[in-house]
Structure 1
Amino acid sequence: MPNLVVLTEQLLAPVPGGTGRYTRELAAALARTAPGGWTVTGAVSRQADVSAAVVPGVEGPRVLPLPRRALIAAWERGVPYWPGGDSVHACTPLAPPRGRVVVTVHDTVPWTHPETLTPRGVAWHRRAIGRAVARAGAVVVPTSAVAEELRRCAPGPVPLHVVHNGVTPLPDEEPVDVPPRYALAVGTVEPRKGFDLLVAATAEVGLPLVVVGPPGWGGVDLRAPHVTLLGRLGDAELAYVLRRAAVLAAPSLAEGFGLPVVEAMAAGVPVVHSDAPALVEVAGGAGVAVPRGDRAALAAALRSVVTDEALATRLAAAGRVRARAFTWDDAAREVWAVHLGLFR
């Protein structure tokens, strides 16, 4: 019986972030949509506790004999250590150096905005993505914008396939203490998210800001009298906070997809986003786009959404329609097609 191994290592990261959600949702969808006879197994490096990498419907996780650092070092040096299976899907650039493997590359930030990452992170991602476009069976990217940037920044012979992410259905809610009316930002608090600019813009508008997401690197300090920092929330708490937001703001300097944008649209929440190419592509005209780094434009867009009820209603309706284009099962079927193509 053929077996697809999905590397679910990101689920064990201290800050799984958006790639963690991608890993969990795609792995579960791959199991749901598996072609007849195929099984799906998760795989992670050797760690004391791998319970966070358990995914419904996915076998395992299979614990590899190498600890994380040794696995990274082995694959970086070209050691052909195979994690098992007939085909492997790497949900991040951490992947076997060759073989029947498909690698997801989420963005090109290491090239386009290296200042928003750690120097070590920039160097590792450039090397890992460089190996993927040179040696993998195929590379999957979440948007056409990332595909275009990757061909320019890290050209290689491996075929690129654009497979959009999906929208995670919101579960039943768990209440969270939030202001009566607020702008919402969701994501790891790090420099490229533009949350510091959002703090200034919401202060100018006089609109409370709620931030959901763990602190990342870079020491970004968002503390201000009008800001509520909720940190990492479970999906039930996120559902409560998201559905009650007056507007979702995504002022990122760079993104590969922008899951919070489509999740907000699916919930009927108006969206204001930056003109980062991937966000423009994903929003599809159903949000209000503003130039990156422009505080005045961001403040003006937020003010218009929260003061113009007709505009907010139009955006909410357009967002719901746009969000229907993104499902994890559709994404999984497209990823399966890529894997099965490696056997032809």
Structure 2
Amino acid sequence: MPITLRMIVDQVVAPVPGPLGRYTQALTSALIASTPSGCQVEAVVSSSPPTDYARIEAMFPGLSGLYKTSLARRELAGAWQLGLTTSPGGGMIHAPSLFAPLRRHDRTVSGDQVVVTVHDLTAWTHPEALTSTTVSWTKAMLKRARRHADAVVVPTHALAERLADIADFGERVRVIGTAPRVGLVMPGDGEGSIRRARLGLPDEYLVARGTLEARTGLVELLEALGRPGVPQIPLVVLGPDSWGEVHLATVAEDSGVDARRVHALQIDDPSDLAAVLAGATAVVAPGHEEGAATDLIEAFSMGAPVIHSDTATHLEVAAEAGLAVTVGSGGFVERLAAAVTSVIEHPSLADRLAVTSGDRARAFSWRDSAERVWQLHADL
């Protein structure tokens, strides 16, 4: 009888799959593609419309089966929070988040094992960015994980160290990195140009991801671009054009940046994203806090020069492939302005960063991540 790894794939059919949905899709596909001999992958999903079941089966050819719980997602999340249901049963369960059936078990006797994943600590560091319900649920599930999870996967060593300050998992924490989203492939010269023209992009531009929330560093980037002497290059923001009642154009004008130079794009098509990243003069990641720094990894995969803040996560992921800017206690905006200026005004620096970017990209693959997940469950 084959050994079955049961992957919780609920997020791929959520109303807004988001980064977690992309992670779930990529890792599940890689787990199926790298299945060891004598093993198989089964998907687990909460009670959903038949169309969602069909989407999952089409998205993941090669599944051995699809387990459908009796409860819908919201009810299942509440039940698992309270430990009130044994669904979906035992065996090897891998959860790409804290959404998992965490309950008392002894894997040395039953062979059951549950592994969960922690991508960030926003519920503790910036609870105001989440709903109160999400914060309380996340904290409750981490407590259950501390008691019942056989292992906890995190994307970086930096996050593992910060997690240890919140909950002691001992040697159960495993670092398994991420990789670029499915479909993010370097476009041909002609295709990239056509896509960028359709999106209304200029010939030269910077790219930054995020919202106007303080921790993303986007406001500080705009302030840096408004400093005297900084080249007046357009900025493409991959994110919404407002945050609450604060609008991107207003912040740009207040920072001394002509609002016409700032373009907000929300891109779902990975081919469009690839074209945007590949054509960028530089990708800037000024955030003060990141969970997996996947934005850096995706920029590297497109060979874009990268400028990033010197957070522990960014330094770990970049491994000197990008131009690091010290956050420090003051002067970050000025240092960021200097870094942007140097990359724009010195083509040799931009070329060197493009080369190191492409080299660093080879360190990240979903195949490697999946093989590490299989090894983790084998070790357990």
Indicate whether the TM-score tops 0.5: yes
Deviates most, 18-27 or 82-91: 82-91
**Partners in 2 of 1:338 and 1:216 — Cα distance?**
41
Structure 1: gaps of 5 or more residues: none
SS of the equivalent of 2:248 reads coil
**Partners in 2 of 1:188 and 1:128 — Cα distance?**
27
1:55 counterpart residue number? 59
1:252 counterpart residue number? 287
Query: Aligned AA for 1:31?
Result: I
**1:275-295 deviations in whole A, cap 9, x for unaligned?**
221111101111122244832
Q: Is the 8 A contact 1:135 1:158 kept in 2?
A: no
**1:241-282 deviations in whole A, cap 9, x for unaligned?**
111011111112211211121111121101111222111110
Cα pair distance change 1:330/1:222, threshold 3 Å: same
Q: Is the 8 A contact 1:5 1:83 kept in 2?
A: no
Q: Is the 8 A contact 2:211 2:218 kept in 1?
A: no
- Equivalent residues in 2 for 1:173-212 (5 A)? 173=191, 175=195, 176-187=199-210, 191-204=214-227, 205=230, 206-212=232-238
**Partners in 2 of 1:128 and 1:142 — Cα distance?**
18
Q: Is the 8 A contact 1:79 1:97 kept in 2?
A: no
Q: How much has 1:95 moved relative to structure 2?
A: 0.9
**1:158-209 deviations in whole A, cap 9, x for unaligned?**
6001111123451655613212111112357755323233333334432211
Aligned residues: 342
Query: Aligned AA for 1:221?
Result: H
SS of the equivalent of 1:66 reads coil
- Equivalent residues in 2 for 1:239-318 (5 A)? 239-292=274-327, 294-318=332-356
**1:291-315 deviations in whole A, cap 9, x for unaligned?**
4483222222112111111111111
Q: How much has 1:135 moved relative to structure 2?
A: 1.0
Q: Is the 8 A contact 1:182 1:245 kept in 2?
A: yes
Q: Is the 8 A contact 1:9 1:44 kept in 2?
A: yes
Q: How much has 1:214 moved relative to structure 2?
A: 5.5
Query: Aligned AA for 2:13?
Result: L
1:114 counterpart residue number? 127
- Equivalent residues in 2 for 1:325-344 (5 A)? 325-342=363-380
Cα pair distance change 1:82/1:52, threshold 3 Å: same
SS of the equivalent of 1:18 reads helix
SS of the equivalent of 2:68 reads strand
Q: How much has 1:84 moved relative to structure 2?
A: 5.0
- Equivalent residues in 2 for 1:164-179 (5 A)? 164-168=177-181, 169-170=184-185, 172=187, 173=191, 175=195, 176-179=199-202
Q: Is the 8 A contact 2:241 2:248 kept in 1?
A: no
Identity of aligned residues (%): 41
Q: How much has 1:102 moved relative to structure 2?
A: 0.8
Higher CA-based Rg: 2
Cα pair distance change 1:28/1:231, threshold 3 Å: same
Q: How much has 1:11 moved relative to structure 2?
A: 1.9
Q: Does 1:70 align with 2:96?
A: no
Divergent runs of 4+, >4 A: 51-54, 171-174, 187-191, 214-220
**1:121-175 deviations in whole A, cap 9, x for unaligned?**
3322222222223211111111100111111112235600111112345165561
**Partners in 2 of 1:303 and 1:217 — Cα distance?**
27
Cα pair distance change 1:69/1:339, threshold 3 Å: same
Cα pair distance change 1:217/1:78, threshold 3 Å: farther
Q: Is the 8 A contact 1:190 1:218 kept in 2?
A: no
**Partners in 1 of 2:169 and 2:211 — Cα distance?**
30
CA RMSD of aligned residues (A): 2.5
Cα pair distance change 1:73/1:336, threshold 3 Å: same
**Partners in 2 of 1:16 and 1:192 — Cα distance?**
22
Cα pair distance change 1:12/1:276, threshold 3 Å: farther
**1:77-103 deviations in whole A, cap 9, x for unaligned?**
012423256211111111111351111
Q: Is the 8 A contact 2:90 2:113 kept in 1?
A: no
